[in-house]
Structure 1
Amino acid sequence: MTKWVYSFGAGNNEGRADMRNLLGGKGANLAEMSSIGLPVPPGFTITAEVTAAFYENDHKYPDDLKGQVDAALAQVEKAVGLNFGDSAHPLLVSVRSGARVSMPGMMDTVLNLGLNDTTVEGLAKAANDPRFAWDSYRRFIQMYGSVVLGVDHHRFEEIIEHAKLDAGVIEDTALTADQWREVVEGYKDLVEQETGKPFPQDPHEQLWGAIGAVFGSWMNARAVTYRRLHDIPADWGTAVNVQAMVFGNMGNDCATGVCFTRDPSTGENMFYGEYLVNAQGEDVVAGIRTPQPLSASVAKSGEIPLEKAMPAAYAELMEVRSTLEKHYKDMQDIEFTVQQNKLYMLQTRNGKRTVAASLRMAVEMAREGLIDEAEAVMRVNPSSLDQLLHPMLDPTASRTILGKGLPASPGAASGIVVFSADEAESRAAKGEAVILCRVETSPEDIHGMHAAKGILTTRGGMTSHAAVVARGMGRPCVAGAGGISVDYNNQMLSAGGKQVRAGEIVTLDGATGEVFVGSVAMIEPAVSGDFGTLMEWADKHRRMGVRANAETPLDAETARKFGAEGIGLCRTEHMFFDPERILAVRQMIISNTESGRRAALARLLPFQREDFRQIFTIMAGLPVTIRLLDPPLHEFLPHHDQEMQEVADSLGTDIATIRLRAEELSEANPMLGHRGCRLGIAFPEIYEMQARAIFEGAIAVAKETGNAPHPEIMIPLVGMKRELEITRAQVDKIAVEVFAETGTTIEYSVGTMIELPRAALLADKIADCADFFSFGTNDLTQTVFGLSRDDAGKFLPHYVEAGILAKDPFVSIDVEGVGEMVRIASEKGRAAKGGLKLGICGEHGGDPASIAFCEQVGLDYVSCSPFRVPVARLAAAQAALGAAGDRTA
């Protein structure tokens, strides 16, 4: 019989932390916390395996699941001395989701389950507080009605607002037991009106309804979006956790809170969090009430920290903080409840954090001896480093402040104000930078939050939904900016007499919580401190080299600043578009004679030579791979009459002749047309000029600096050995000429870009005359799949959503197809030539998953855009450590 249910708490712990794939992160950690002696209310976890059974069997459960749930529920009843559905001493439970990785707010939860018209009276007597009992009942109906029965959450809120209006009060907490009783009756009427059925009174029916809703929420729109954004497979499923309720809303000796063992924004080793007296968990993250700090050291005037309000509970919580961090060896995100001064732990998980905090924690934990350097390297998500490598607000720039909130997620962003997630997504899709402005965010806003450059809310604290999700996404966020008014009807922000309408620009500083009218100048961040330390540790552990794709002095300097060990792709065609040289390029293309082409190329030679001289100087002896001209010639031709006339005048001809030549060169499918080495064979003078510029530039640098560059000359689009033989001979001939003319020789290499399936399959033959292979995976992906990258955007998203492809193959390498071509070419190439150098220079060179594949294949280096060099350095180290771990295992 398959075991579907695992108990935890009260000395009956059937799970462990390393069972998160089966029990989900929450279930595994509840069992683990129980096993190390922390105060966890007892409960049980229904495994994530039930998700697959649930969806594969038309939303029906395995036959033996009910019996296992009943047995586990009986154990909980025995442990707490209460009975589920008992009229005098009712056991209430919470029903929560729990995927193997944290998905905050994306799936559904139901609290206070087990209340009905009878058990509410028993709860009132047992707690000696009818107001608490009826408040709990209305919370349960509202949550169950919304989550399980599909009644709009706002319909319940309308009933509460009417009740407060009738009672003449502002806060929910001011309503009496009788007034809550009336709210409950209104809720039940609403449910029957909306669903056609009375609110369910049978606790067991309630339980299975909630369990079904949690499993069902795995496929709700916001969860699907979150999984897509965070690369979480749909087949992982979610576990369901059923746990005895403890109450933070039974009075002023009760509280609930969320805390982190270190500051998730900065990484500082300080206890960080918030709590509310007389509240349930959803109150903390909803932002309806202002949360209070935990520690007296950070409390402001008028705030009452938990340390003073409940000193015994705070002291125990501090001990729990130390225990959990030492046990898990990572920063923990903790949920707790204090019921009548007794502390209960409801959850722990590795806390989400900003990349700056992630760096600081990894480095400091290694220095504290909590983890070693290798583990510190593995702790930081390489892709997140992008957040550190882009502009921040210039401290000297002028600015006009609109208001201030909490610095919920650091970073800075400017953009136009939008007030809905849908508009944020649609305008961002058009290339606009947007700031999503909301009173508060909810999980339904996830798509707009991802599309936005920054997020502003007027409600909520540092652990609100907006704050937690923004930090995980790396979006700047200012939360709880209560001094700013969001007017949805008039589409306007206002504060202190200033107004900002939809479509106008604001700037957020997530590090200070400030909001500014208009744009504020930004500066480049400094890469040092913890970042530099972690990069040093990463470099110790990685095997592959990391180069950059660069063809301008600025790109080359940026690459060096970020630690590039050379240039893996210098695209010479980018140099041709410079206004000073495009006319000569066009003259060369239009000319029908070799002599005319050579005359135009002679005018280009000094420009190209200086380009290479500057790059060689900046790279100071590091390898530079230069790809000779690749795109079809028609891409350089003028498209407008004025430009055509300019070319015609320079050649002493008429515009009709220019048009005719442009038509002759036009191609139906230029990506597969007259380009790459085919140009060098048809017009050898082009590659000869480029080779001369490379050698003359390199020799000039060798004489100037005494540090001779080592050019790696790459012939593009080779599919046949003979193509490389012909073009290599052109390069070698020019090398002999330049060395004789200058009396200086330098070392150089000639290789090819593998970007055609034929080249991969015949790599052993091509390797005979190649010193290196560089995989151009952008075009290799196009030719393996037989699709155009320019057009694939029309259908690839659908393929990913439908599960036909796990990821966009232009973003992360298609291991089965494109990757297999890389593997074949690598193995065949090295079999033919043992010392063959292998690298990758497509966009995949900066993608961590693709870099892990390159490590498996044994490539020598990856090359990526300059700003992604740190990403690649860290990803290459993690790939090497992961491969070493696999070999050890």
Structure 2
Amino acid sequence: MADQVFTFDVPTEIDKTVLGGKGCSLMQMSNIGLDVPPFFVIPCQTCVHYMENQSWPADYEAKIWAALKKIEDATGRKFGDSAKPLLLSVRSGARVSMPGMMDTVLNLGLNDESVEGLAKDSGNERFAWDAYRRFIQMYGDVVLGVPHKNFEHILEGLKKKYSAAQDTDLSAEHLKECVAEYRAMVKKTINEEFPKDPKDQLIRAINAVFDSWTNERAVYYRNMHSIDHRWGTAVNVQSMVFGNLGQTSGTGVGFTRDPATGEKMIYGEFLPNAQGEDVVAGIRTPIKISDMESVGGVWPGVYKQLCDNYDKLEAFYKDMVDLEFTVQDGKLYMLQARVGKRTAAAMVRIAAEMVKEGMITEKEALLRQEPNKIGELLHKTFDPKAVRNVVATGLPASPGAGVGRVEFTAADAEARFNAGEPAILVRAETSPEDIVGMTMSQGILTARGGCSSHAAVVARGMGKCCVAGCSAVEVDEEAEQMKINGKVFKRGDWLSLDGSTGEVIEGQLATIAPVFSENFNLILQWADKYRQLDIRTNADTPADAKQAVAFGAQGIGLTRTEHMFFEHDRIYSMREMIVSETAEQRKAALAKLLPFQRDDFIGMFKALEGRPANIRLLDPPLHEFVSQEMDFAPLIKATGKSEEELRAFVDSLAEANPMLGFRGCRLGMVYPEISRMQARAIMEAAAEVQATGLEVHPEIMIPVLNHVNEMEAMRKLVADECEKVLAEKNIKVDYHIGTMIELPRACITADKIAEHAEYFSFGTNDLTQTTTGISRDDYNKFMPVYLDKSVYPFDFFQRIDTEGVGELMKMAVQKGRTTRPGMKIGICGEQTGQESVFFCQQIGLTYISCSPFRVPGARVSAAQAALLYPREQ
């Protein structure tokens, strides 16, 4: 595909891997009869060729000129002509949407001769020179590398000089002066004249779009969304249509439903006498599309045609569509249509309502959910009883509650985040360069722009609260402050944003837990109807267990008992046990810990209300509970040892590689009293709760073993203690003893281990470490480079490495069930994203386990997995 060019007049298979999303959109809109300006598409594969060779395929330039000739013939214009010039837009278009991350050039093809021709042909001199200054500004920034602010400084100076409130207030003569100053500044900045040859302009613009695939913000965005760096971007070259020809022209961005709430409505914004970047950049505050009818002139007719196009596009895509359009002298042209980005609330509502409308099925609705976004619905909102000191109201661009300290630059917001504090990023308007700071902020506030601005689109995609177009905000970045209706807010002041109402609120507003909507409950009901995997939670406290059950968890997949020892009233007894020299001393210290553990388990069993609980015995090495910086006084008092003796003992616990050292079942093998205490605490708690009438199903998990002899010995030790307790209490409890499979040797010998283990639970974090030889505590020193260079396709600690770790998991499942048919096997690592859940479904696991707030998303992922990879029950 790398040596091909796809033109608007030749039927082409719609394939996003070739044409990219924007190219497919242009082809599809043409196919269903919408007015689309003529175009051609340079495929993604040509970008890949360019990146690998820093050149185009052989004879490719000739194919570009042949494709351009077709646009000239269709429009009756000629590229670079001084009488009827053809102007082009050059846009990126990856196979998945990356809003604002790559570059675009508009009005390409202008020079000193063709601008005069454009003025005569259009009968609008001001329009021609406005297009020229826009072209120089955009081309200079994107292709020549001249800082955008250099152009803005000149433009703002001219507006001030001629008392122009808006760009549109500048006359043709003013714009000629602007063009002259732009060109002089370009030459001074890069020591090169602004290029006049249109063909040279086009070649360099295409290369610049290719190059933008690897710019810093695009790489960051792909890493954030797990997009493959090897895909490349398509380039779309299209005949320009002009929204800045006057008051019967304009440009807009729309959606077939509200992307923030999901409500079915005519949603979007347009600007008369403007080009597309004016809407996205938020340079002027736009008008709602639904208000077009009241404007008069050509706009009521355009509005009716837009409504027709909305219906056609939604019927075609069977989903909410995001579209861009331009009106030139009253004629409507469609420039893009794609399935639109939306908030989690909108995602749920649109899918549920489209099922009710008969547009899609329940299964299709489930497959459209993004499980990672569902977490947005589970976090807090503002307490309706809290007193709101509303200082301004902007546009509700992305819903949610954002509370943080004011920061005026992306770098400062990032620094605030890294310091462990929440930030609210305040900007006159955001740009793609702000992506990192936006990611790390609790909310975003802009003075300019609408609900289709860069800030709004990106915030919705990330699930961030955003209030846009708040005209009362006056940002003074240099002074690190802003004024809102005369009130000064400095950097570091607290601010709250309500992205659902657009309210800007002084101070820290109290928040409350969310409430599931009827549509969200419906989606979850459908998920439970189709999924085959059980969903459990990782929970270390009764509160965690209660929250997870409320979110639909079917039990606990992992309780890390070591987390119960870190609280202030327990850590001293734990340390006393660690420094003990004899078994009797250890037992005495453990006797102090047993009531704490038992009480925790009682609370968890009650919260589970009969659901199973998989409880891991002590896993980490003992040195994690002590340090040279701790308070030694309680230990001195408890043991009678000197501080010097205790410090020396702490030093002796250090290990060269603690991940592979004295931990897990090895602790129980050497110090069996530790495991006996934990088994007793679990069983005493189970007996007490069961006596109240609640069912209890404890599962006791042995960690970090790799040999059948370890499993056999630890099972006997734990079972003996459990049976002793049950005999003392004269009660029977349904309990099981299994193991965590987290070492390669355990996978390889799983058939032998299964002789003594009643169930397996994969610990994929440690299994990934021991399989790949990568420490999860240190890998950030090189992993970003590996991901940027596509050495690894993704972060192995975020998603299961199915080719390596996954093969060992498959082996363990097969071997374990050979010995113990129907054996229950789960996973309790944090790698429970969508792709990992699909893999768990394919290899036949019984359940997946994740943190409480991931449970609803995991329910949906499991349903998607069952629909895509069904298995016999």
**SS class of match (1:815):** coil
Cα separation, 1, equivalents of 2:41 and 2:519: 39
- Pair 469,638 (structure 1): closer, same or farther in 2 beyond 3 Å: closer
- Say if 1:292 and 1:306, in contact at 8 Å, map to a contact too: no
**1:874 maps to what in 2?**
860
Matched, 1:397 2:383: no
**2:563 maps to what in 1?**
574
Matched, 1:105 2:100: yes
**1:645 maps to what in 2?**
633
- Pair 668,112 (structure 1): closer, same or farther in 2 beyond 3 Å: closer
Q: Please, which moves more after superposition, 621-630 or 504-513? A: 504-513
Cα separation, 1, equivalents of 2:624 and 2:181: 70
Structure 2 letter corresponding to 1:673:
G
Matched, 1:586 2:572: no
**1:290 maps to what in 2?**
285
**SS class of match (1:143):** helix
Structure 2 letter corresponding to 1:77:
E
Cα separation, 2, equivalents of 1:644 and 1:752: 36
Measure how far apart 1:382 and its partner are.
0.6
Cα separation, 2, equivalents of 1:483 and 1:455: 15
Measure how far apart 1:884 and its partner are.
4.1
Structure 1 letter corresponding to 2:19:
L
- Pair 120,759 (structure 1): closer, same or farther in 2 beyond 3 Å: same
Structure 2 letter corresponding to 1:862:
I
In the TM superposition, what whole-angstrom CA distance separates every residue of 1:409-435 from its partner, at most 9, and x where no partner exists? Answer: 111122222211122223322323222
Q: 1:834 aligns with which of 814, 821, 835?
A: 821
- Pair 602,82 (structure 1): closer, same or farther in 2 beyond 3 Å: same
**SS class of match (1:816):** coil
Matches within 5 A, 1:490-639: 490-637=479-626, 639=628
**1:489 maps to what in 2?**
478
Cα separation, 1, equivalents of 2:728 and 2:243: 86
- Say if 2:2 and 2:44, in contact at 8 Å, map to a contact too: no
**2:257 maps to what in 1?**
262
Matched, 1:694 2:682: yes
**1:177 maps to what in 2?**
172
- Pair 544,768 (structure 1): closer, same or farther in 2 beyond 3 Å: same
Instruction: Give the root-mean-square deviation of aligned CA atoms.
Output: 2.1
**2:15 maps to what in 1?**
19
**1:742 maps to what in 2?**
729
**1:151 maps to what in 2?**
146
- Say if 2:3 and 2:57, in contact at 8 Å, map to a contact too: no
Q: Please, which moves more after superposition, 560-569 or 493-502? A: 493-502
- Say if 1:13 and 1:35, in contact at 8 Å, map to a contact too: no
- Pair 796,202 (structure 1): closer, same or farther in 2 beyond 3 Å: closer
Cα separation, 1, equivalents of 2:295 and 2:59: 45
**2:238 maps to what in 1?**
243
Matched, 1:443 2:432: yes
Cα separation, 1, equivalents of 2:581 and 2:187: 84
Matched, 1:67 2:31: no
Cα separation, 2, equivalents of 1:884 and 1:385: 23
Cα separation, 2, equivalents of 1:457 and 1:557: 39
- Pair 111,793 (structure 1): closer, same or farther in 2 beyond 3 Å: closer
Measure how far apart 1:661 and its partner are.
4.3
In the TM superposition, what whole-angstrom CA distance separates every residue of 1:25-50 from its partner, at most 9, and x where no partner exists? Answer: 11111011101111111111111110
- Say if 1:15 and 1:28, in contact at 8 Å, map to a contact too: no
Matches within 5 A, 1:314-333: 314-333=303-322
Q: 2:839 aligns with which of 826, 832, 853?
A: 853
Measure how far apart 1:151 and its partner are.
2.1
Cα separation, 1, equivalents of 2:157 and 2:584: 89
Matched, 1:730 2:717: yes
Cα separation, 1, equivalents of 2:157 and 2:600: 73
Structure 2 letter corresponding to 1:836:
M
Measure how far apart 1:648 and its partner are.
3.3
Structure 1 letter corresponding to 2:800:
I
Cα separation, 1, equivalents of 2:79 and 2:456: 36
**2:30 maps to what in 1?**
34
Q: Please, which moves more after superposition, 18-27 or 316-325? A: 18-27
In the TM superposition, what whole-angstrom CA distance separates every residue of 1:792-817 from its partner, at most 9, and x where no partner exists? Answer: 33333333233332333222222233
Structure 2 letter corresponding to 1:45:
V
**SS class of match (1:500):** strand
Measure how far apart 1:309 and its partner are.
5.5
Structure 2 letter corresponding to 1:648:
I
- Say if 1:295 and 1:307, in contact at 8 Å, map to a contact too: no
Cα separation, 2, equivalents of 1:227 and 1:2: 22
Q: Please, which moves more after superposition, 762-771 or 785-794? A: 785-794
TM-score, normalised with respect to structure 1 = 0.94
**SS class of match (1:261):** strand
Matches within 5 A, 1:29-428: 29-58=25-54, 60-296=55-291, 305=294, 310-428=299-417
Cα separation, 2, equivalents of 1:358 and 1:496: 36
Measure how far apart 1:639 and its partner are.
4.8
- Say if 2:611 and 2:696, in contact at 8 Å, map to a contact too: yes
Cα separation, 2, equivalents of 1:703 and 1:222: 59
Cα separation, 2, equivalents of 1:600 and 1:188: 80
**SS class of match (1:431):** coil
Cα separation, 2, equivalents of 1:337 and 1:324: 16
- Pair 638,143 (structure 1): closer, same or farther in 2 beyond 3 Å: closer
- Pair 654,203 (structure 1): closer, same or farther in 2 beyond 3 Å: closer
Cα separation, 2, equivalents of 1:669 and 1:150: 48
Q: 1:676 aligns with which of 664, 675, 680?
A: 664
Cα separation, 2, equivalents of 1:210 and 1:311: 37
Cα separation, 1, equivalents of 2:527 and 2:369: 11
- Pair 577,139 (structure 1): closer, same or farther in 2 beyond 3 Å: closer
Cα separation, 2, equivalents of 1:124 and 1:3: 37
Measure how far apart 1:627 and its partner are.
0.8
Measure how far apart 1:275 and its partner are.
0.6
- Say if 1:40 and 1:345, in contact at 8 Å, map to a contact too: yes
Measure how far apart 1:654 and its partner are.
4.8
- Pair 124,152 (structure 1): closer, same or farther in 2 beyond 3 Å: same
Cα separation, 1, equivalents of 2:713 and 2:703: 13
**2:802 maps to what in 1?**
815
Cα separation, 1, equivalents of 2:186 and 2:592: 81
Measure how far apart 1:653 and its partner are.
5.2
Cα separation, 2, equivalents of 1:506 and 1:838: 47
- Say if 2:424 and 2:445, in contact at 8 Å, map to a contact too: yes
Measure how far apart 1:317 and its partner are.
0.5
Q: Please, which moves more after superposition, 560-569 or 305-314? A: 305-314
Task: Count matched residues.
Answer: 872
- Pair 741,13 (structure 1): closer, same or farther in 2 beyond 3 Å: same
Cα separation, 2, equivalents of 1:471 and 1:308: 34
Structure 1 letter corresponding to 2:7:
S
Gaps of 5+ in 1: none
Cα separation, 2, equivalents of 1:827 and 1:331: 43
Cα separation, 2, equivalents of 1:816 and 1:487: 52
- Say if 1:113 and 1:207, in contact at 8 Å, map to a contact too: yes
In the TM superposition, what whole-angstrom CA distance separates every residue of 1:150-206 from its partner, at most 9, and x where no partner exists? Answer: 222232233333433443433322222233223223333333333434332222222
Q: Please, which moves more after superposition, 864-873 or 509-518? A: 509-518
